[in-house]
Structure formats: structure tokens, C-alpha cells
């Protein structure tokens, strides 16, 4: 059987790229039987390597392949709610979040959730701050608070790019994305489509103005794998406002906060919420761990314990 890579998800159909061309495919019956209500969203996803059977005598634009099997992935990035797990990308070299200081605002809660998932899968993580030229449009107190949060992420070892895609993409960011498959995440309106257009040197994605109340309009409507210059492969997702982690265990959550790792609590299974001798809470009180990061940890942990479906308010600016 020939093999290919899933490069697009369009409802029940999948785009495949193989050595001999492109295909529009559906999973075969045996493969569909492996799916359940809970895992249907991550049975097939962009970046997976699959085996397929080409079909003959199909018309232009019609399905011309059947996906018969899926190769085990090196890694996955997923999000989940009570009754659904969705794989956003597979076989990744990196995960990048685009955020902004304004239009829309900086959302550290969203960043922290994605970082937990990236850490759990040992995938390098980058933070891109777009619209940096708008920094002078926000109040000084907010500006100081946001810069402080950025410095916290830098102290954790994250690579951070300060960009203004209205003008250009920095050479440093281009070099980082080159020869890699990167999952690009961000809320609507942060500039993902503008970045892809600049990286590709052509208008591969339509861009839109920011919608009402500084909430971006969705430009991407289906996840796709796009090829940019310097052999950069970008998985572009529709604007993601929610990032549930119900598939994540408590140990996974604790490991997702890098600043917790070198601290030794009295109890090995310390939840960092109420136990005596908790080094994490002590570090928060002493200012060695940022308060907004600890609040983010508590918010995610609460969502895991209650097993509720993620809501927009779960990702408030912390």
C-alpha cells in the first residue's frame, strides 16, 4: 500500500500528500470502526502518516483514495473536553503560539494550557508576540504587567519573538521555522494568516480586519498543513479560543510547570494546594514563582477535577 501524510481536514474528507501526488480520501470501514465518540476527533489528524488505497474512475474533485491504516505517531498535540478529544497536529518539530498585547489582548491562561500539552509531549515551544508596535496604545500599568509576564516566560527558558507582521517577519523567526513542521496556535485576530502570507511570499491565506470587541474573525475555517519558504511546514488551525486538558493527569499538569520541577515538597504526591511543607506555595509567597502562573496552575487543576466542558471564561487573562 502507498503511504502519505494528512495535510488537510475538511469535514469527513482528508487531503493526502504522497510521493506521486495529492488525494482526497476517507477512512475505510475497518478504520472507522476503531473510532468511538470519545476518540473520533483524534483518530485521523494533520501530520499523521497513513496507508491508503487509490481509487480509479473518479471524477475531478471527487474522492479518489481510501485510508486503510495509520502509522504510530512520534508525538501528538491534543485538546479535550468532557466527551471529545481532538488532535491538532502530529509528528511535530515545534509548537508556536502567536499572541498580542492588544487587539486581542494577551491571554496567559491560554498560553499556559498549551505549554502543559507541549511539555507533556517533549515538543519545543515558542511564543510569538505580534503587533508589538501597538504596545504604546495600552495603559502604562497594563504594559508593565504584560512585560513582566513575558520576562517570566523568558526566565523559564522559552524562546520569545517580538514581531510586527504589518511590516515583516524577523530573520530569526524565519530561521527557527525553517526545515520544521510547526503547529501554529492562537486566538482569532492575532495574525496567523498574515504570518503565513509573509512566510510564503504570496497570499495563501485571506486576512480580515479585527471584529467587534477586539475579538478576531476566523480566517482559517479548516486545519491545513501549508508549505512556506525554507522548507517550513506550518499546521494552521482555526482561531482557538479554548484549550481543554481533560486528557491530562495531575502528574502531567505538575510536570507542565517548569518552575515546579526543582522544588522538593514534604510529600511526593503534593498537589501544591494545601499540604504542609509545600515548597511550591512557599516559593509563590516569596515571589520566586510568579503569582499568575500559580493561579493558572490552580485553574487548570480545578478543571481536571470537576471534569466540566471548557468554557470561554476558563481562559481569562490571569
Model pLDDT for residues 10-66, shown as the tens digit of each residue: 878 899 999 988 999 998 877 766 654 444 445 788 999 999 999 886 666 688 899
Sort residue 39 into left (φ over 0), alpha (ψ -120 to 50) or beta.
alpha
What is the C-alpha separation between 75 and 92, in angstroms, rounded?
A: 7
Whether 100 contacts 138, CB under 8 Å? no
Q: Would you say residue 249 has pLDDT above 50?
A: yes
What is the C-alpha separation between 42 and 277, in angstroms, rounded?
A: 40
What is the C-alpha separation between 177 and 191, in angstroms, rounded?
A: 16
pLDDT value of residue 283: 97
What is the C-alpha separation between 204 and 194, in angstroms, rounded?
A: 9
Rg of the chain over CA atoms, in angstroms?
21
What is the C-alpha separation between 307 and 295, in angstroms, rounded?
A: 18
Residue 237 to residues 2, 84, 86, 92, 137, Cα–Cα distance (Å) = 27, 17, 12, 14, 28
Torsion of CA 308, 188, 228, 44, to 10 degrees: 30
Give the pLDDT mean for 267-285.
Answer: 94
Q: Would you say residue 141 has pLDDT above 80?
A: no
Q: Which of 76-85, 262-271, 284-293, 296-305 has the highest mean pLDDT?
A: 284-293
Strand (E) or helix (H) holding 284: helix 279-285
Which residue, 238, 197, 183, 239, is CA-closest to 214?
239
Q: Note the pTM of the prediction, 2 decimals.
A: 0.84
List the CATH code of the domain at 87-236: 3.40.50.300
Whether 200 contacts 229, CB under 8 Å? yes
Where along the chain do its domains lie? 3-72, 87-236, 250-315
Residue 11 to residues 8, 14, 222, Cα–Cα distance (Å) = 10, 8, 8
Residue 254 to residues 96, 113, 243, 280, Cα–Cα distance (Å) = 21, 12, 17, 11
Q: Half-sphere exposure of residue 299, counting CA atoms within 13 Å on the CB side? A: 24
CATH of 3-72, one of 2.40.30.10, 1.10.1840.10, 2.40.50.140, 3.20.20.70: 2.40.50.140
What is the C-alpha separation between 94 and 123, in angstroms, rounded?
A: 6
What is the C-alpha separation between 175 and 204, in angstroms, rounded?
A: 20
- Considering only residues 214 and 76, tell me which one the structure prediction assigns the higher pLDDT: 76
What is the C-alpha separation between 14 and 263, in angstroms, rounded?
A: 46
Percent of the chain whose pLDDT exceeds 70: 84
* CATH fold for the domain made of 250-315: Ribonucleotide Reductase Protein R1; domain 1 (1.10.40)
What is the C-alpha separation between 73 and 291, in angstroms, rounded?
A: 36
pLDDT value of residue 85: 83
Amino acid at each position: 500500500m502507498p503511504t502519505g501524510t494528512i495535510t488537510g481536514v475538511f469535514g469527513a474528507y482528508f487531503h493526502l500528500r504522497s510521493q506521486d501526488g495529492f488525494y482526497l480520501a476517507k477512512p475505510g470501514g475497518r478504520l472507522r470502526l476503531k473510532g468511538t465518540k470519545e476518540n473520533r476527533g483524534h483518530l485521523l489528524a494533520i501530520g499523521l502518516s497513513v496507508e491508503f488505497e487509490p481509487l480509479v474512475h473518479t471524477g475531478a474533485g471527487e474522492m479518489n483514495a481510501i485510508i486503510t491504516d495509520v502509522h504510530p505517531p512520534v508525538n501528538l498535540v491534543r485538546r479535550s473536553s468532557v466527551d471529545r478529544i481532538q488532535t491538532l497536529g502530529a509528528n511535530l518539530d515545534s509548537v508556536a503560539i502567536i499572541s498580542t498585547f492588544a487587539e486581542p489582548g494577551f491571554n496567559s491562561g491560554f498560553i499556559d494550557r498549551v505549554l502543559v500539552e507541549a511539555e507533556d509531549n517533549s515538543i519545543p515551544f515558542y511564543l510569538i508576540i505580534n503587533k508589538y508596535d501597538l504596545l504604546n496604545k495600552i495603559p502604562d500599568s497594563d504594559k508593565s504587567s504584560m512585560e513582566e509576564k513575558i520576562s517570566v516566560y523568558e526566565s523559564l527558558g522559552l524562546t520569545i519573538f517580538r514581531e510586527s507582521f504589518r511590516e515583516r517577519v524577523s530573520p530569526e523567526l524565519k530561521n527557527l521555522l525553517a526545515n520544521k513542521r510547526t503547529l501554529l496556535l492562537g486566538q482569532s485576530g492575532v495574525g496567523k494568516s498574515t504570518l503565513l502570507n509573509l512566510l510564503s511570499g504570496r497570499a495563501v491565506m485571506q486576512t480580515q480586519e479585527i471584529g467587534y470587541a477586539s475579538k478576531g474573525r476566523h480566517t482559517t475555517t479548516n486545519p491545513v498543513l501549508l508549505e512556506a519558504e525554507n522548507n517550513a511546514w506550518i499546521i494552521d488551525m482555526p482561531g482557538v479560543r479554548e484549550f481543554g486538558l481533560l486528557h491530562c493527569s495531575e502528574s502531567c499538569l505538575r510536570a507542565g510547570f517548569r518552575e515546579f520541577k526543582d522544588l522538593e515538597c514534604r510529600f511526593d504526591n503534593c498537589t501544591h494546594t494545601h499540604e504542609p511543607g509545600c515548597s511550591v506555595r512557599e516559593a509563590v509567597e516569596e515571589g520566586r514563582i510568579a503569582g499568575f502562573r500559580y493561579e493558572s496552575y490552580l485553574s487548570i487543576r480545578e478543571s481536571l477535577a470537576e471534569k466540566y466542558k471548557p468554557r470561554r471564561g476558563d481562559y481569562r487573562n490571569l
